[in-house]
A and B are shown apart, each in its own frame.
Chain A
Amino acid sequence: MAVRMGLKDDCRIMSDHDSLAKRLCQVSPYAGRIEPLIGLIPEIMERNDQLRPLWTAWRQNAPPDLTPRQYFARGQIKVLCDFVEYLYFASDAFARSARRR
């Protein structure tokens, strides 16, 4: 029973994280292109020294009515934009399109 509860809680947490990550990525125009990767973003940000503080702040403190552009400072927004842009250009979707054309 305890295990079952744990799994349930994990699922809810992951789902919350996904929606938080999705809102965070709206900072970049490439957000739509990386939608299939949203589930990976919390883990990637957690393990990176530059991104971890941004993710922690967003996860713990961001009011639901604020967008990332309203919440973060200019320099932080640039880092987030570079990160999302990087994810798109490192993705298989981009590589396939580049090889076709």
Chain B
Amino acid sequence: MALRAKFCVIGTGAGGGILAYRLAKAGADVLVINSGGIPAQSEFQNELSPEQKGHFEIGPHTTFPVRPEIYIVHPLLADARSRSSMECPREGGFHHYQIHHVNGLQNLWNGICLRYSEDDFANCHSYSEDCRWPISLGDLADHYSEVERSAFVAGERNGLRQFPDGSFLAPRSARQIDRVFIDSNAGSLGPDLFFFENRKAVDLRPDSTQKCVACGNCGRGCRSGSVYKFSTHLLPEIRALRNFRLLEHTRAIKLTAVDCDNAEGFSISHVVAIDERTARIVEIEADVVIICAGAIESPRLLLNSFADDRSKAEQVGEFLQDSPRAVVGTSLFRLWFRPANEDRGYGDHILLGGQIKDSQGKRFPFVGQFWSDFMKVPYYLAEMPRLPRFLLETISRQVFKSTVTLVLFSPAVPQRKNKVVLADGVDHFGQHQVRIDYETSEIEADHGRRLAALARRMLRKASGYIVDDVGSPPGSGIHYVGTCRMAADPKGGVVDKDLKYFKSKNLYVCDGSVIPVLSEKHPTLTIMALAHRLAERLIKTYI
């Protein structure tokens, strides 16, 4: 099958969704292809009925007693493993999460929206001279605002330099469990540590059909459709447009390049894709191709396409980064024997931010989220001593409703040796998978230890009786960036400051892979703002 379009967008995650929407609304001829289909809202059953999940999240590799690091976050992730972009990771290796559906990993996004700061764009906390932002906050400020408005980001304006304010709706009020944590720690916060209301892309408008139902399980996929997703927020508006087409279950497997006569490098003449249901090849001819497949799949597509001419994919796949993090959980004793507070709000309602010192005395920034929801997996049973049955039940009830988790993120340390490379193995479409070489640096490990110690201290102050350090293997931050990093010149990266591939005249990349330096903040809002900015540029240039 042969198709033709002005713009071909590959992928519908944080970048692709915004980009496709803006181009379609501007009247451009847009063809979007995506591996997998649109997930039904019934995929996201957040209420407490594990029976509906079928197997109580017991997977093939679950061991008893159940340990927290084993359980599967969502069946969509488990389903994706059979079609993974990467070879089966070795023990302790990089764990790549991937969802083969429209929206990609954003299906399970909990909606946290944090702008990068002036300091982030000025590379103040960068640990590598090879990775530098070529743009400033001023270049993205308007685009941040546009995205915040269209995703209904709620939050408070706090005037914090580290976390710039945006265009916010009024946030939800704090819960009982938040108050216990804040009040216990407020007295001991130094000038460099602060709490603030979470900034989330969650629809709180009372008249909205998608308004938040406060189940508290945002991170498992929103069942009411209130957390921003391309398929629920933007797609319905453009689906009927004659200039917009979405090919579901269609995976890009190769880009066909044609060398240009002048110094502009090469141009992409076709995108070769495969229909995942029929195995039929689809050839798409496009004037402009934009890859938005994520920081692992995008380099995989580029490396596969240019396997015979590596000069076309120089630096692609290098400097893979993921957020180093500390995850510490506990049960707050002060909430025991109180009536359960049914309002779980966002689940992670409060953010904690600031700077602390590493073991060398050097300050580094961090951000944390204080999370409380009704847990689905009673992994705490593994930690319980053998208790009489009546006592086990009583304690389990209290632990169930008072469990909280503190997740703290620090900046990544970009390293050239952390990279995505083509592997020998192929997926079931015959496309080469990738291998991920990844080592956590000493600095990141040190930051992780300091953050874990801080989290333990804060949770104990809030009456945490057993503090359980969950551990955080590489890849579990699910903030993958850096593999097609943007730079001021071709020596410094893969795409320019307008996200155009340096070596090509009609190829763009727009996803997490273009972010050159991962700060402590969640990168999703920045990816969306970059996509909005690129859409404006493309509209100006081509329409």
Interface residues of A, Cβ cutoff 8 Å to B? 29, 37, 40, 43-44, 47-51, 79, 82-83, 85-87, 89-92, 94-101
Partner of A47, one of B60, B63, B397: B60
Question: Closest CB-CB distance, A9 to chain B, in whole Å?
Answer: 24
Partner of A99, one of B54, B57, B342, B396: B342
Q: Does B122 have its Cβ within 8 Å of any Cβ on chain A? A: no
Would B49 and A92 count as touching, CB distance under 8 A?
yes
Q: Does B51 have its Cβ within 8 Å of any Cβ on chain A? A: yes
Partner of B397, one of A40, A79, A85, A98: A98
Would B50 and A90 count as touching, CB distance under 8 A?
yes
Q: Does B491 have its Cβ within 8 Å of any Cβ on chain A? A: no
Question: Closest CB-CB distance, A13 to chain B, in whole Å?
Answer: 20
Q: Does B132 have its Cβ within 8 Å of any Cβ on chain A? A: no
- Knowing A48-B59, A48-B62, A79-B64, the reply to whether A101 touches B51 (Cβ < 8 A) is no
Q: How far is the CA of A86 from the CA of B389 in the complex (A)?
A: 13
- The 30 sampled A-B contact pairs (Cβ below 8 Å) are A43-B55, A44-B58, A47-B59, A48-B62, A49-B61, A51-B64, A82-B65, A85-B381, A86-B56, A86-B66, A86-B381, A89-B396, A90-B56, A90-B57, A90-B377, A90-B378, A91-B51, A91-B56, A92-B48, A94-B397, A95-B374, A95-B400, A97-B397, A98-B396, A98-B400, A98-B401, A99-B48, A99-B340, A99-B374, A99-B401
Within 8 A of A (CB), among B27-72: 48-51, 54-66
Identity of the chain B residue whose Cβ is nearest the Cβ of A101 in the assembled complex = B397
Q: How far is the CA of A26 from the CA of B396 in the complex (A)?
A: 22
Question: Closest CB-CB distance, A51 to chain B, in whole Å?
Answer: 8
Q: Which residues of B contact A90 (CB under 8 A)?
A: 50, 56-57, 376-378
Q: How far is the CA of A101 from the CA of B397 in the complex (A)?
A: 8
Q: A44-B55, A44-B58 are in contact. List 14 more A-B contacts (CB 8 A).
A: A47-B55, A47-B58, A47-B59, A48-B58, A50-B62, A86-B66, A90-B377, A90-B378, A91-B51, A92-B49, A94-B396, A94-B397, A97-B397, A99-B340
Identity of the chain A residue whose Cβ is nearest the Cβ of B377 in the assembled complex = A90
Q: How far is the CA of A50 from the CA of B70 in the complex (A)?
A: 13
Question: Closest CB-CB distance, A21 to chain B, in whole Å?
Answer: 14
Interface residues of B, Cβ cutoff 8 Å to A? 48-51, 54-66, 340, 342, 374, 376-378, 381, 389, 396-397, 400-401
Q: Which residues of A contact B397 (CB under 8 A)?
A: 94, 97-98, 101
Partner of A40, one of B55, B60, B65: B55
Identity of the chain A residue whose Cβ is nearest the Cβ of B374 in the assembled complex = A95
- Knowing A91-B51, A95-B48, A95-B374, the reply to whether A82 touches B381 (Cβ < 8 A) is yes
Question: Closest CB-CB distance, A31 to chain B, in whole Å?
Answer: 12
Identity of the chain B residue whose Cβ is nearest the Cβ of A50 in the assembled complex = B63
Would B60 and A89 count as touching, CB distance under 8 A?
no
Q: How far is the CA of A37 from the CA of B52 in the complex (A)?
A: 12
Q: Which residues of A contact B376 (CB under 8 A)?
A: 90
Would B64 and A82 count as touching, CB distance under 8 A?
yes
Q: Which residues of A contact B57 (CB under 8 A)?
A: 90
Identity of the chain A residue whose Cβ is nearest the Cβ of B339 in the assembled complex = A101
Q: How far is the CA of A96 from the CA of B396 in the complex (A)?
A: 13
Identity of the chain A residue whose Cβ is nearest the Cβ of B380 in the assembled complex = A89
Question: Closest CB-CB distance, B336 to chain A, in whole Å?
Answer: 11
Q: How far is the CA of A96 from the CA of B66 in the complex (A)?
A: 21
Q: How far is the CA of A44 from the CA of B58 in the complex (A)?
A: 7
- Knowing A29-B389, A98-B397, the reply to whether A89 touches B378 (Cβ < 8 A) is yes
Q: How far is the CA of A82 from the CA of B386 in the complex (A)?
A: 11
- Knowing A47-B55, A98-B401, the reply to whether A91 touches B61 (Cβ < 8 A) is no
Question: Closest CB-CB distance, B205 to chain A, in whole Å?
Answer: 28
Q: How far is the CA of A50 from the CA of B63 in the complex (A)?
A: 6
Question: Closest CB-CB distance, B425 to chain A, in whole Å?
Answer: 22
Partner of B340, one of A49, A91, A98: A98
Which 7 residue pairs spanning A and B have beta carbons closest together? Answer: A89-B378, A82-B64, A98-B397, A98-B400, A95-B48, A82-B65, A90-B56
Identity of the chain A residue whose Cβ is nearest the Cβ of B382 in the assembled complex = A82
Would A86 and B65 count as touching, CB distance under 8 A?
yes
Q: Which residues of B contact A44 (CB under 8 A)?
A: 55-56, 58
Identity of the chain A residue whose Cβ is nearest the Cβ of B400 in the assembled complex = A98
Would A83 and B64 count as touching, CB distance under 8 A?
yes
Q: Which residues of B contact A87 (CB under 8 A)?
A: 56
Question: Closest CB-CB distance, B27 to chain A, in whole Å?
Answer: 50
Question: Closest CB-CB distance, A79 to chain B, in whole Å?
Answer: 5
Q: Which residues of B contact A37 (CB under 8 A)?
A: 51
Among A89, A94, A99, A101, find the residue whose CB has the most chain B CB atoms closer than 10 A.
Answer: A89
Q: Which residues of A contact B48 (CB under 8 A)?
A: 92, 95-96, 99
Among B58, B59, B381, B397, find the residue whose CB has the most chain A CB atoms closer than 10 A.
Answer: B58
- Knowing A99-B340, A99-B374, the reply to whether A48 touches B60 (Cβ < 8 A) is yes
Q: How far is the CA of A27 from the CA of B21 in the complex (A)?
A: 57
Q: How far is the CA of A101 from the CA of B59 in the complex (A)?
A: 31
